[in-house]
Copies of this chain bind each other. A is one copy, B any other.
Amino acid sequence: MRRTGRFSLIFDHAPRIESTGTIVGKNEAEGPLGEWFDIRSEDSFFTQKTWEQAEAVMQQTALRRALEKGDLESAALDMVFSGDLENQCIASSFGIKSFSIPFVGLFGACSTMAQSLALAGLFVECGAAGRSAAVTSSHFCTAERQFRFPLEYGGQRPPTSQWTVTASGAAIVVSDELCKNRKAPVLKAARFGVITELGVKDIANMGAAMAPAAAEAVSGFLTDTNQTADDFDMILTGDLGDLGLTLTRRLLDDAGFHTGEKIRDCGCMIFDKNDQKFGCGGSGCGCSAAVLNSMIYAKLCSGELKNILFVGTGALMSPVSVFQGEVIPAVAHAVQLSAKP
C-alpha cells in the first residue's frame, strides 16, 4: 500500500473481488437492471414477520449467495464489514450474526457500499484478512417508516425526492494469491471522504445535500492520483439521483474536472424513468450495493468495463437532526476498480 496525494491509498497487492451476491424487491426486479440480480422477491417481507427482519435476511442472503457463487464456506472469511440505514444498524448485526466471523459495523448512510468495500480491500491489501466481505442493505419499508411517515399514510413526495431501494449486495474481497476466480476485478485504490455540506436542509432533496460530497470525493481522488475522468470508462456514483447527479456534474465542471457523460449514478439506473415513477431515482445503501455487485461487476469481469471509479455518497443526518433544524452533512468514499489485466 502506498499513500498518494493528500488522502488516497494505492493498493499494490491487487486485492480482488472474487464473487458477489445481490437480492432485490419487486420494483427493483421490474427495473431496467432486473435480470442482473441474483435473487428477486415479490414478497417485501422476504418470508419474515417484519420488514426489519426481512432486511436482515436480505443481508444474510446476499452474503450467502456471494459465498455460494465463489464456492466458499463462511469460514473462508476473516472479516465482514457491514452497514445499513436502520437505527443502530440492526439489519447488519442481525443479518451477519449467524456467520461467526469478526464483524465491523459501519454507518455511512448510502456511502456504505463504498466504505465497506474500501475497508475490505484495505484489510486484504495489508494482510489483515485473506478474505473479507462488504455487505450493505436498505429496504423501502424500514426506511420509509423510520425516516419519513408510516407506510399506511401514503405520503406524497416532491419531485426532488428519491425512493429507498429494497436491496442488498455483498462483495467478497480476496488476496490475489487466494483468488480462485480468474476474471475477478482488482481494487486499485481507495479514498475515504471528508464530510462536506453547503447548507442544504431539505430532507426531500438528498441529491442536493450529497452533491458537494460527491464532487469532493471525485475531485479529491483524481487530484490525489493524478488521473482525469478520461482515464475511466465510468465514474459511478451511488446514490445521487437525477438532480444530485446534475449538481455534481456542475460542481465538478466549475472546479475544472470535466466528467461529462462519464459520470453515471446507481440511483438513476435502477428504476425506469418513464415506466416507473420514482421521483429523482433510487437511494439507500442497497441501491449502489445491488447495482455495483450485479451488472457493473459482471462487466468488469468480462472486460466490457476496464476501469471505473465507484463513489458511494451518504447523507449523514437523522430525523432528530432534521427536526432540530440542522443542515444535512454528507460524505462520499471512492474506490477504483479495474478489470483483471
A residues whose Cβ falls under 8 Å from a Cβ of B: 1-3, 7, 9, 49-50, 52-53, 78-79, 83, 85-90, 92-94, 96-97, 100-109, 115, 119, 122-123, 125-130, 146, 191-195, 197, 316-321, 324, 326, 329, 331
Contact = CB atoms under 8 A, between A and B. Distances in A.
B195 A78 contact: no
Contacts of A49: 324
Contact of A83 (B90, B107, B331): B107
A78 B192 CA distance: 10
A117 to B, nearest CB: 13
A108 B49 CA distance: 26
Nearest to A326: B94
A318 B123 CA distance: 28
A126 B1 contact: yes
A88 B109 contact: yes
How many monomers of this chain does the complex have? 2
27 contacts: A1-B126, A1-B127, A3-B128, A7-B78, A50-B324, A53-B324, A88-B318, A89-B107, A90-B318, A90-B320, A93-B316, A93-B317, A93-B329, A93-B331, A97-B329, A100-B194, A102-B192, A102-B193, A103-B195, A104-B108, A105-B107, A105-B316, A105-B331, A107-B107, A125-B126, A126-B126, A126-B127
A326 B139 CA distance: 19
Nearest to A101: B194
